Amino acid sequence: MNSKSKELIIFSQISKIYGNHEILHNLSLCLTSGRSLAILGPNGAGKTSMIRIILGVVKPSNGIISIFGHPISTSSFESKKKIGVVIEEQTFFLDMSGLDYLNLFGELYEVPDYISRALSLLKYMELYSARNKKLKEYSTGMKKKLNIIQAVLHQPEILILDEPFSGLDPLGISLTLDLLHNMKASGTTLIISSHILSEIDDLVEDLLLIDKGEIKAYGSKEELWERLEGNCTMNLTLLEDNAKGLNVLEKLPEIIGRKDLGELQYIYTIVDNKAFREKISQIIIDYQFMISHLSFTNPSIKIVYEKIMGSNFQ
């Protein structure tokens, strides 16, 4: 896959109206490769409608959505083959076996050596022993696992997941997260809508928060937190004392407070941004810090979400 960032999906003033009720209002945004996205919002915010419009299942009432450079209405099957989908309302052919179901999609998407890949994924998701059972014998969790396997079978360029952890037990969630991390590492761009925010913290770079069909906030977690004037922490442990360097470091305006843990261990409350990290790096070099540990703790998606949705965010 081309490592250069490119436009994948463009929303241009998208609205969706059902009867007299506007589900989505004038959405405009651009999703690029290499920037995985979480679509977040309360029930009824319009998240699922947005995903259905991306998939071409639902037509927008107004506006244009383009995927891979073409309006969704005219996108070829070749373009749509680059997308994988996990949805809650997945339809299955219940008289087929799990393996036959995957083989059907392998042939449809022209996946090289699809049987071998299907078997490998069945083993990965601990569904191999049920590969020859008919789908009507599958539990809800087993069907969800099969849906996830089917969605990644063709190694899509975009993977769209609507509540991917629904119906899964803790082991199933863990296996799914491992698989999504692997897909992301291989170059797949993830678009995830989930109420389990803690599980997707390190899977996405950007957040789209919508409420009542409108964009409440859009950007990286760090950018949104900075706009909220929220604080992060920096954890620093030294191998030897450096009072002069620490004195310079602590004069930076981004450092709000310090907690001394003893044994040259410090926790700083900071306003984190790119410029601050560049300053820190230069001070470390200039004052020859001997460091055994340096890390930054940024806000979780849950904290950012709660802060924005509970405020008049601008």
Round the average pLDDT of the chain to a whole number and report it: 90
* Contact between residue 293 and residue 189 where contact means Cβ atoms under 8 Å apart: no
Give how far Cα 49 sits from Cα of 15, 24, 87, 108, 265, Å.
Answer: 10, 8, 12, 26, 49
pLDDT for 25-75, tens place per residue?
A: 999 999 999 899 999 999 889 999 999 998 888 899 999 999 998 888 766
Residues 215 and 268 in one domain: no
Expressed as residue numbers, the domain containing 40 is 7-224
Task: Note whether residue 310 is domain-resident.
Answer: no
Residues 83 and 208 in one domain: yes
Last residue of a domain, one of 224, 255, 289: 224
Judged against a pLDDT cut of 60, whether residue 3 lies above it is answered with no
Residues 123 and 141 in one domain: yes
Residues 97 and 219 in one domain: yes
Task: Note whether residue 2 is domain-resident.
Answer: no
Residues 133 and 170 in one domain: yes
Predicted pLDDT at 82: 92
Strand bridging mode 158-162 / 189-193: parallel
Residues 73 and 148 in one domain: yes
Residues 24 and 172 in one domain: yes
Last residue of a domain, one of 206, 224, 242: 224
Judged against a pLDDT cut of 80, whether residue 258 lies above it is answered with yes
Residues 203 and 249 in one domain: no
